[in-house]
Amino acid sequence: MELLPLFFGLIAMLGYGLSNAMAQVPSKELGADRTLFYRGVVILCSFFLLLPFFSWTWSLSWIALALGIGVIGYIPTFFYYRALAFSPVGLVAPIGGSFVIFTTLFASLFFGEVIKPLQWAAVGVILGGIFLLTMDPRKLSVQDLFSKGVLYAAIACFFWGVVFTLWKFPVAALGFFMTSVFVELTTCSIGGLLSRKNGRWLPPRHLWLPLFGIGVLGGMGTLAYNAGISSGSLSIVAAITATSPLASMLYGRFVLHENMSGLQYLGILIAVSGMVLLAL
């Protein structure tokens, strides 16, 4: 198997995982819309600085498709941030990460990718590892399982599966960089429109650094994912990207100095084993 798509999948995993880990505090304080708007501003500024280093192709029809996918893409990110406001990340992350089931299925149906039994097994191993890594039954109640956060995370899971599949179309025509630009432009614009009446435009100073990190890392995740699917299998890149909760938990352990149980370390080992299976 080619190593380049695996490399981009790992970068996307780190970018999205770290970005999501940093998003919990701003999303609770500012709301999902404003957080997505500030995230988008940082991403677009970063992309503008990178613009001279990439070539691109213009096509109004493909640009329109990329913008439309951006509109759909706002849905899962919004609901994921909303889920974090209602439920613990340990419950939200494994549900959101399950989008790989839909992406793998859609890759087989729409792009003719042959999904081998070993690959399905690897996806199952990865999801099992994410479950052990993020879920702590001792801290969950019955109310948590039937909360709005679970519903919102399930919505995010399905639409991420759709969006991560649809990106394959404009990436093939516009290239991974310009597709990322138009998708993130749409997300930022919608966030700005929906949050224009929710307080002042400038965020509180203590949130500047987290919002900057969310934007830079989220943009890195989008670029890496689109670069990965432009050079390799959609199902493989999506499966590795789905291990982003691993990066989120490691951020909590080494940056926030949160304690991790033996079960969580076992989850890391299992998730990594799943990624190794994908590379076979």
pLDDT tens by residue, 225-241: 999 999 888 888 988 99
pLDDT tens by residue, 178-187: 999 999 999 8
How many separate domains does the chain show? 1
Pairwise CA distance, residues 218 & 159, whole Å = 17
Share of the chain above pLDDT 90, in %: 34
Using pLDDT thresholds of 50, 70 and 90, give the confidence band for residue 191: confident
Say whether pLDDT at 144 is over 70.
no
pLDDT at position 93 is 74
Using pLDDT thresholds of 50, 70 and 90, give the confidence band for residue 137: low
Segment 238-246 shows an average pLDDT of 86
Pairwise CA distance, residues 153 & 147, whole Å = 10
Any idea which residue has 């990624």 for tokens?
275
Using pLDDT thresholds of 50, 70 and 90, give the confidence band for residue 118: confident
pLDDT at position 225 is 95
Q: Are 233 and 113 in contact (CB under 8 A)?
A: yes
Least confident of 71-75, 89-93, 147-151, 205-209: 89-93
Share of the chain above pLDDT 70, in %: 91
Q: Note down the domain range covering 237.
A: 3-279
C-alpha dihedral sign at 168, 171, 176, 179: negative
Pairwise CA distance, residues 38 & 214, whole Å = 9
pLDDT at position 6 is 86
Pairwise CA distance, residues 249 & 51, whole Å = 32
Say whether pLDDT at 149 is over 90.
no
Using pLDDT thresholds of 50, 70 and 90, give the confidence band for residue 196: confident
pLDDT tens by residue, 60-117: 899 999 999 989 988 998 898 888 777 776 677 778 878 888 998 898 888 888 888 8
Mean pLDDT over each residue of the chain, to the nearest integer: 84
pLDDT tens by residue, 30-57: 888 888 899 999 999 999 999 888 877 7
Distance from the Cα of residue 273 to its chain's centroid: 21
Say whether pLDDT at 158 is over 70.
yes
Pairwise CA distance, residues 261 & 239, whole Å = 25
Least confident of 112-116, 119-123, 242-246, 252-256: 252-256
pLDDT at position 279 is 66
Segment 128-150 shows an average pLDDT of 67
Q: Are 27 and 203 in contact (CB under 8 A)?
A: no
**Could you give phi then psi for residue 94, rounded to 5 degrees?**
-65, -30
Q: Are 125 and 277 in contact (CB under 8 A)?
A: yes
The residue among 219, 250, 224, 218 whose CA lies nearest residue 237 is 224
Higher pLDDT, 268 or 104: 104
